[in-house]
């Protein structure tokens, strides 16, 4: 989760930098266009003016292409963000349903979620304002209701479904 | 080319369509605050007709151009098509504000949209009259003229008092400058109205609209 968040933050920074660049480009172009119009009024026939007009036209094109590219980057980031949220929502739905089918109490569900997020007993106790002994007892009840040996198996229960590939026969045989 | 378009349509019809973005894209935010700063500085701080004043005016013009380009090429909620001026809808929205229950829109709300167009129109008038008053001189030219005058070459001033410049001409110039002033004050008035609007909308919609125009939710 943190890795994907980092990726999105990086993407956000990238679009911000691109926007800033586009902005500076636009400023330069607007000043240049003003200059060309000034030249046009004072001396329309000079080669200098024609050259400047061509440069300005290419600058304008650059802005349009830049804006288009930036739009696509922003939309791509949004799609990624949404896919991530959908995946998150789907997983937490799955976990919720599984917790219900195990008959966990609301308190146990909370503790179970926090445990799946990777918090240790001390952290969970602090978050919930409970004693560490209470949390440890709740975790034990959760594991027994789920029929798993401990924390690793508890977490693996949900990850297993996400990992499509089956365990190779050789690995199973070796155990 | 086709892929992002279809995806953006899909995302527009999803969760995002029921409420304005929680964070506007960087171009919208940069142009918003850039124009706000340029207008405030020019109205309240810089000396009229000075090099800084003219430079900031050109800066505001560049930002306005950028925003207009973005209104055609930008993402869905930044495009003009997402917030076309609609006075009837704006009126309805204002009435809903009084009752405390408003519809949510994927982009600016209709009242806010009208405000934006009014602001852009006033800004365009300020820029156009400003350009007329300076004879369309770019900041570079203004700086060059200033330097020439400073070095004792007063010929740069000649074009402004070109011989027997007729009375109508100076009358027109005065009118233009008057319009410049009035439109600039209108901008300040609209800005104040805008701040009030943001405050009221934020309370009624229970959304922090300021956050969406600054840095969004830092924690996620």
B217 Cβ contact partners less than 8 Å away, ≥ 6 residues apart: B22, B23, B211
**The whole model's pTM is what?**
0.71
Q: Which residue has the higher pLDDT, A166 or B182?
A: B182
Instruction: Report CB contact under 8 Å: B8, A78.
Output: yes
B2: pLDDT strictly greater than 60: no
State whether the Cα torsion B88-B93-B96-B102 is positive or negative: positive
**In angstroms, rounded to a whole number, what is the distance separating the alpha carbons of residues B42 and A104?**
64
Which of A13, A19, A59 has the highest number of chain B CBs within 10 A, making it the mutation to test binding with B? Answer: A19
Instruction: Report CB contact under 8 Å: A31, B137.
Output: no
* pLDDT tens digit sequence for B44-102: 998 888 889 999 999 999 999 999 999 999 888 899 998 999 899 989 988 888 887 88
By CA distance, what is A6's nearest residue in B? B220
Contacts of B34 in chain A (CB under 8 A): 23
**In angstroms, rounded to a whole number, what is the distance separating the alpha carbons of residues B187 and B182?**
9
State whether the Cα torsion B84-B89-B91-B92 is positive or negative: negative
B144: pLDDT strictly greater than 60: yes
**In angstroms, rounded to a whole number, what is the distance separating the alpha carbons of residues B185 and B43?**
8
A102: pLDDT strictly greater than 90: no
Q: Is B32 exposed, middle or buried (0-12, 13-18, 19+ CB in 10 A)?
A: middle
Residue-averaged pLDDT of chain B: 82
Instruction: Report CB contact under 8 Å: B73, A64.
Output: yes
Q: Which residue has the higher pLDDT, A85 or B131?
A: B131
Contacts of B58 in chain A (CB under 8 A): 27, 30-31, 34
Contacts of A82 in chain B (CB under 8 A): 11, 14-16
**In angstroms, rounded to a whole number, what is the distance separating the alpha carbons of residues B75 and A75?**
7
By CA distance, what is B220's nearest residue in A? A5
CA of A34 vs chain B CAs: smallest distance (Å): 6
Instruction: Report CB contact under 8 Å: A71, B59.
Output: no
Instruction: Report CB contact under 8 Å: B75, A75.
Output: yes
Instruction: Report CB contact under 8 Å: B75, A78.
Output: yes
Contacts of A22 in chain B (CB under 8 A): 27, 66
Q: Is B218 exposed, middle or buried (0-12, 13-18, 19+ CB in 10 A)?
A: exposed
CA of A29 vs chain B CAs: smallest distance (Å): 8
Q: What Cα–Cα distance (Å) separates residue B139 from each residue in A160, B142, B144?
A: 65, 5, 8
Q: Are the CB atoms for A21 and A66 separated by under 8 Å?
A: yes
Count interface pairs A-B at CB distance under 8 A: 84
Q: C-alpha angle with apex B12: A72 to B220, nearest 5 degrees?
A: 80
Contacts of B26 in chain A (CB under 8 A): 15-16, 18-20
pLDDT reported for residue A2: 62
Instruction: Report CB contact under 8 Å: B58, A67.
Output: no
For residue A38, give the nearest of B26, B65, B136 by CB distance: B136
* pLDDT tens digit sequence for B202-216: 888 777 888 888 887
A68 at the B interface (CB within 8 A)? yes
Confidence of residue B146 (pLDDT cuts 50, 70, 90): confident
DSSP assigned state of B18? G
By CA distance, what is A70's nearest residue in B? B74
| Residues of B (48-67) whose Cβ lies below 8 Å from A | 58-59, 61-63, 65-66
Q: Which among A90-99, B4-13, B25-34, B104-113 has the top mean pLDDT?
A: B25-34
Instruction: Report CB contact under 8 Å: B25, A74.
Output: yes
pLDDT reported for residue B12: 37
Instruction: Report CB contact under 8 Å: B26, A71.
Output: no
Instruction: Give SS3 for A43.
Output: coil
Instruction: Report CB contact under 8 Å: B11, A78.
Output: yes
Integer-rounded Cα Rg, in Å, for chain B is: 21
Q: Are the CB atoms for A128 and A135 separated by under 8 Å?
A: yes
């Amino acid at each position: 989760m943190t890795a994907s968040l980092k990726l999105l933050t990086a993407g956000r920074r990238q679009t911000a930098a691109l926007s800033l660049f586009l902005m500076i480009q636009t400023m330069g172009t607007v000043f240049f266009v003003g200059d060309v119009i000034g030249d046009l009024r004072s001396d329309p026939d000079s080669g200098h003016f024609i050259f400047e007009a061509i440069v300005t036209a290419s600058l304008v094109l650059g802005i349009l292409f830049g804006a288009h590219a930036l739009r696509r980057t922003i939309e791509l980031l949004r799609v990624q963000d949404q896919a991530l949220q959908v995946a998150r929502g789907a997983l937490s739905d799955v976990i919720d349903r599984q917790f219900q089918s195990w008959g966990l109490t609301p308190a146990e569900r909370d503790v179970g979620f926090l445990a799946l997020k990777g918090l240790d007993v001390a952290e969970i106790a602090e978050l919930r304002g409970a004693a560490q002994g209470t949390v440890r007892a709740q975790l034990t009840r959760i594991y027994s209701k789920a029929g798993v040996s401990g924390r690793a198996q508890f977490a693996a229960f949900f990850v297993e479904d996400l990992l499509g590939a089956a365990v190779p026969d050789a690995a199973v045989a070796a155990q | 080319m086709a892929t992002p378009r279809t995806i953006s349509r899909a995302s527009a019809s999803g969760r995002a369509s029921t409420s304005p973005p929680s964070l506007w894209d960087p171009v919208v935010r940069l142009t918003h605050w850039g124009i706000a700063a340029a207008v405030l500085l020019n109205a309240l701080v810089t000396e009229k007709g000075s090099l800084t004043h003219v430079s900031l005016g050109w800066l505001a013009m560049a930002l306005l151009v950028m925003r207009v380009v973005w209104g055609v090429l930008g993402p869905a909620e930044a495009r003009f098509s997402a917030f076309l001026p609609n006075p009837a809808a704006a009126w309805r929205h204002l009435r809903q504000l009084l009752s405390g229950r408003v519809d949510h829109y994927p982009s600016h709300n209709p009242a806010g949209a009208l405000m934006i167009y009014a602001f852009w129109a006033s800004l365009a008038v300020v820029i156009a009259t400003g350009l007329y008053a300076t004879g369309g001189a770019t900041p570079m030219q203004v700086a060059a003229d200033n330097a020439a005058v400073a070095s004792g070459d007063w010929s740069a001033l000649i074009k402004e008092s070109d011989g027997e410049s007729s009375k109508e001409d100076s009358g027109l110039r005065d009118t233009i400058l008057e319009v410049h002033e009035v439109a600039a004050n209108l901008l300040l008035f609209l800005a104040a109205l805008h701040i009030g609007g943001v405050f009221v909308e934020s309370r009624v919609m229970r959304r922090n609209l300021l956050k969406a125009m600054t840095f969004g939710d830092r924690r996620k």
